[in-house]
Structure 1
């Protein structure tokens, strides 16, 4: 009887060791994967630029077996909307308590979106409500998805960011025209706003845990 109990203990210990080894194996990022993503960028004048981004990531065996989604950047509009709905600027960084410039807000939002897997850049130029109104210097976020490039703007009252529309729609809008004069990639934004972007995102943004 005692021998049988010892054998059972040995089997249980062996099974536990195997289970732990498998758990560690499947949870460890040991597989090197190269992602190649092609983006189409729509410019205000209607032309299209195609760019290919290549980067290397490490994934776990579980991620490899669970599907191919890990190989791709987030490129669909639905995911963008959900990500924007999940974060907003804290009350102390919204009027009337505090005023952050449009460039600073855009840089913070770009950092957030980039960390979520989006390809972003900053549009810089002017906005005006009609042809007769004097244009105001402004900066906004551009998100490059598979189907188009979208203008994203922070709502000063709610603190959430909204999708204005495609670059073309924003440039031709009858309510608020976005006249893009230059475009900064993320590297240039990090350089220009280096001090601001050193701060953790949760200093400026409230995010829901999902």
Structure 2
């Protein structure tokens, strides 16, 4: 299964490279456009970007911490309980999504194939950065990424967060479309260390 998944990822990667080479817009241009789209989204929604994660772990509704390693913007709605995923060993994590949309936001950009948190994705988080799932539908393509794991170093099981995930740390869909994704709510429903 891993070999097949690896082959599929390789083929998708080649398609992304060929698509990027065939357009007149460079990768640097795509990054610049993404930064503009994220900045516009932040301004339109009166978001305050924090340079440091709050010591109390408490966020106002419009406050987002930008993780310096991943570039992911994190807003913690509820930090969950003390059961946290471990970065020093493998942790199995279940994630549910309520809604997500590509930036800039428009009704036509909304991805609506996930019904109100009813479809979890399971992923492995830890020493080796493997993100796998037992799902056989398109959720992995749209949502599974290193970006959605960025909050795990700060929050525990049952935590709920909002995220802005740049395409560089995003899902296969994001990498292919060169689009950032805004998650209106994501919940880490189960963490097993």
Name which one, 1 or 2, has greater alpha-carbon Rg: 1
Instruction: Name whichever structure is richer in strand by fraction.
Output: 1
The alignment's TM-score, normalised by the length of structure 1, stands at 0.26
Question: Higher relative contact order at CA 8 Å, sep ≥6: structure 1 or structure 2?
Answer: 2
Instruction: Name whichever structure is richer in helix by fraction.
Output: 1
The alignment's TM-score, normalised by the length of structure 2, stands at 0.27
